[in-house]
Amino acid sequence: MTMFQGYLRKDGRKGIRNIIVVIYLVECAHHVARTIVQKSGHADVHLIGFPGCYPSEYANRLMTNLATHPNVGGCLLVSLGCESFDRDTLQEAILASGRPCELLVIQNCGGTIGTVTAGIEAITRLREAAANPELVPLDYADLVIGTICGGSDGTSGITANPAVGHAFDYLVAQGASCIFEETGELIGCEDVMAKRTANPEVRAAVYDAVKKAEVYYRTLGYGSYAPGNADGGLTTIEEKSLGAYAKSGSSDIQAVLKLGERPAQGGLYLLDIVPDGQIPMGFPNINDTAEIVEMIASGCHMILFTTGRGSVVGSAISPVIKICANPDTYMRMAGDMDINAGQILLGQASIAQTGAEIISCIENTVKGVPTLSEAMGHQEFILTYKSL
Amino acid sequence: MKNLIWLHPNDNVAIAAASIAAGEIVAVDSQEIVCRAPISLGHKIAIRNLCSGDKVLRYGEIIGVMTENAHAGDHVHLHNMRSAYTPSHHRGHQ
């Protein structure tokens, strides 16, 4: 069943947006890249980047996936010149995917002013080269959709999360690929989750992923739990987890994905965000945006973001749909919330009805209608060090 | 009478669907409970007497362990329960 249209990329994948990304390859190039984006003045030009000067296999893998994401039509790389990031390999991968890509090295382009001037010209060329990609039929089987919760409270696991679970069940039944993640917020859910695995290998992978997360967070001294969770009535990580888990719906879990890995076919997937082995770096993901970026690097065309306390973030590259769990928060922040799941708590809508509203919002987003965060220019992005 | 959400028949806590003042009477499972402390929307209230060491159940699953005794109607939160996994942290209580 064909319901939508998408942008056909040369690698055969289909996008729902046609974004030009400007990518800084070290923090030292951040201001120049940001100035190019601001001066270009186009809403479809997004800024992403990696701040570190030391090499990172994780950053290489994720940046390559992000730059060749189906929502991306072309790339401008901005390098200072002396950092470690392997810009040539990245540019080759982008060009090999059939996308236009230009590279500016600040130290060879006359510094800030020269590079900004060259960058604005490059954006004009890249937008022309990426304009009017072939539109082809797109259906649910072409879509990858992720979910995350941020600023969770005691209502999240009763309203917005089960409503997303309802939407996920529908999406999986239609052939879409759906990803849930943050194994540190599935601690305490391992037994209930294991009952939903497609086979014994996946069952073992689920137990391994949650055990690894539990050891990792315990070693670091803090669970994936913030003061706002406590203010909102969540007392323990396992209470938060059981609410977060409801986002996954009731489909069988097909596989546990590693970082940067994409779903092989439609179905429900768990993204294992915790590095293997020893603990050489800090927290697996330092904030919600780091999780969103990883899901986009696993191919997500859009993200369903549930919040109780009230988050405002969107994202570069892929639209974010905000689903508010708490009716009081919705009253305070309605302008940021695409869906009011707090109505479930007030008895004004069922979980199924709210799930249907989420599906309707997903379909509008696929058709090009901006989400609220997208319309307000939210393009949050962060990529930092992590071991693989 | 304010509404409590009792998510599973095995649960020994319920969730406030709106903020509740101390002294208010709330109903759950055809039982009336006097709320012994102010409870904010989304927070937990004990629906039976609990002892230190009791497992706390929500969604029919274990969400932590009581660290103090509590009466039916008491607020159940960081002051009287803990995680069985990693400790919870709060601003000023780190």
pLDDT for res A6 = 97
DSSP code of A341?
A: G
Tens digits of residue pLDDT in A296-328: 999 999 999 999 999 999 999 999 999 999 999
Q: Would you call A238 and B82 a contact, using CB atoms and an 8 Å cutoff? A: no
In terms of phi and psi (left: phi > 0; alpha: psi -120 to 50; beta: otherwise), the region of A268 is: beta
Q: Which residues pair with A374 in a beta bridge?
A: none
DSSP strands (E only) in B1-94: 2-5, 13-16, 25-28, 31-34, 44-46, 55-58, 61-66, 75-76, 81-82
Q: How many angstroms separate the most distant Cα atoms in chain A? A: 63
Which is it for strands A253-257 and A267-271: parallel, antiparallel or unpaired? parallel
Q: Residue A373: helix, strand or coil by DSSP?
A: helix
In this complex, which of A188, A221, A308 lies closest to B42 when CB atoms are compared?
A308
Nearest to A321 by CA among A272, A363, A271: A363
Residue B71 clears pLDDT 70, i.e. is over it: yes
Rounded Cα distance, A21 and B49, in Å: 58
All residues of chain B having their beta carbon less than 8 Å from the beta carbon of residue A238 are 61-64, 83-85
Q: What is the residue-averaged pLDDT of chain A?
A: 95
Rounded Cα distance, A22 and A18, in Å: 13
All residues of chain B having their beta carbon less than 8 Å from the beta carbon of residue A158 are 5, 7, 15
Average pLDDT over residues A211-218: 92
Q: Which two tokens stand for residue A240?
A: 């938060």
Rounded Cα distance, A317 and A46, in Å: 7
Q: Residue A48: helix, strand or coil by DSSP?
A: strand
Q: Which two tokens stand for residue A239?
A: 């209470």
Tens digits of residue pLDDT in A2-29: 689 999 999 999 999 999 999 999 999 9
Give the best residue of B54, B63, B67 to mutate against chain A (max A CB count within 10 A).
B63
Q: Would you call B15 and A328 a contact, using CB atoms and an 8 Å cutoff? A: no
Q: Would you call A235 and B81 a contact, using CB atoms and an 8 Å cutoff? A: yes
Q: How confident is the model at residue B94 (pLDDT cuts 50, 70, 90)?
A: very low
Q: What is the pTM of this model?
A: 0.93
Distances (CA, A) of B20 to B14, B17, B75: 13, 9, 11
Q: Would you call A187 and B81 a contact, using CB atoms and an 8 Å cutoff? A: no
**A214 touches B at CB < 8 Å:** yes
A231: Cα within 13 Å, side-chain hemisphere = 13
CB A18 within 8 A of CB A44: yes
Tens digits of residue pLDDT in A245-264: 999 999 999 999 999 999 99
Rounded Cα distance, A305 and A322, in Å: 5
Q: Which residues pair with A19 in a beta bridge?
A: A72
DSSP code of A183?
A: G
Tens digits of residue pLDDT in A108-132: 999 999 999 999 999 999 999 999 9
Rounded Cα distance, B59 and A158, in Å: 9
pLDDT for res A2 = 60
CB A20 within 8 A of CB A71: no
Nearest to A218 by CA among A291, A271, A279: A279
Nearest to A63 by CA among A294, A363, A371: A294
The 10 Å CB-count burial string (b at 16+, else e) for A90-100 is: bbebbeebebb
Q: Would you call A223 and B90 a contact, using CB atoms and an 8 Å cutoff? A: no
Q: How confident is the model at residue B92 (pLDDT cuts 50, 70, 90)?
A: low
